[in-house]
Amino acid sequence: MQQAIAVLDSGVGGLTVVRELMRQLPQEKVIYFGDTARSPYGPRPAEEVRIFTRQIVDYLFQFDPKMIVIACNTATAVAIDDIRTHVPIPVLGVISPGARAAIKSTKSGIVGVIGTEGTIRSMAYEQALRTISPGIQVYSEACPLLAPFVEKGLFDAEEANAVVEQSLRPLVGKPIDCLILGCTHYPFLTDSISRVMGTEVTLISSADETAQEISTILSHRGMLAASGVMPIHQFFCSGDPELFKQIAQSWLRELISIRPVVWQVPNII
């Protein structure tokens, strides 16, 4: 199937899913939309995030994708059910794959979750974990500073360490043996997070796990791209295209072209 996988995020965070997609499924074409003009989604009301997500999905549908990936934990938490009833193709979020990987990884049955205020408030990870494995214990913590920090494109190690250390302080010393990076922006900060949490805590990237789950679903539905065709990916963003391009090229380690999109609807409802 030569149609693309459409990936969306509030900004650049979903690029962590895209990098893994490009690595794990090198034959799949990706169309990416980063809603950088309206990032972050974390502090926004759920209804607003639902409307924004629906708008991006409608935009992406002009390219006739074979699958929608909501590569944003906040949007997955509040909008995935709505999008699933809205479109006739498979819709994947980033929460269930992370939850499943944590269940596989944990030995103690006690896991940590970090995410935006919206994700943590929604209790979506607790629900996903306990639906599968009711005995799991969860410590969760909202880290509102982290996603905006990544969106700025600043990766000064010392500054990153300081903001990560402050954000994770409530989880340090808790008896968790794995920590779900419940925001697709967080893999940009893996080194700092790992330093703060220590080597005994396994970090679960919802981005890596989502790429593997995309592979599983496409494979079981007979929808994998045919062999031998090297795809050309497409990137769109609603905010500053130069900043997006700079972050994307540095993260994906390849040159990309980016098309800016100006929303015809008000920025904030």
Residues comprising the binding site for substrate? 9-10, 41-42, 73-74, 184-185
Identity of the residue, 81 or 159, whose beta carbon is nearer to its own copies in the bound complex? 81
Query: Among residues 72, 143, 178, 237, which one is catalytic?
Result: 72
How large is the greatest C-alpha to C-alpha distance in the chain, in angstroms? Answer: 50
Taking contact as CB under 8 A, which single stretch among the options 70-78, 182-190, 213-221, 236-244 is the one that binds its own copies?
A: 213-221
What's the one-letter identity of residue 261?
V
The site that binds its own copies (CB under 8 A) totals a number of residues, namely: 30
Min separation Cβ 122 and its own copies, Å: 18
- Given the rule CB under 8 A, which of 98-106, 147-155, 156-164, 183-191 is the region that contacts its own copies? 98-106
User: What string marks each residue from 112 to 141 as x (binds its own copies by CB under 8 A) or -?
Assistant: ------------------xxxxxx------
State which amino acid sits at residue 58: D
CB 249, CB 256: distance < 8 Å: yes
183 is catalytic: yes
Is residue 26 a contact residue for its own copies (CB under 8 A)?
A: yes
Q: CA-CA distance, 180 to 171, in Å (whole number)?
A: 12
Are 215 and 201 in contact, with CB atoms under 8 Å apart? no
Contacts of residue 145, defined as CB under 8 A and 6 or more positions apart, other chains included, come to 163, 166, 167
Cα dist. 58→1, 71, 86 in Å? 21, 16, 9
Using rule CB under 8 A, residue 90 touches its own copies:
yes
Running DSSP on this structure, what letter comes out for residue 153? Answer: T
Q: Is 161 in the site for its own copies (CB under 8 A)?
A: no
Where would I find the H helices in 106-145? 117-122, 124-132
Least distance in angstroms from the C-beta of 248 to its own copies: 22
**Cβ neighbours of residue 174 under 8 Å, at least 6 residues apart?**
110, 112, 139
Tell me which residues are annotated as active site.
72, 183
The residues that touch its own copies, with contacts defined as CB under 8 A, are: 20, 24-27, 90, 96-97, 100-101, 103-104, 130-135, 208, 211-213, 215-217, 219-220, 224, 227-228
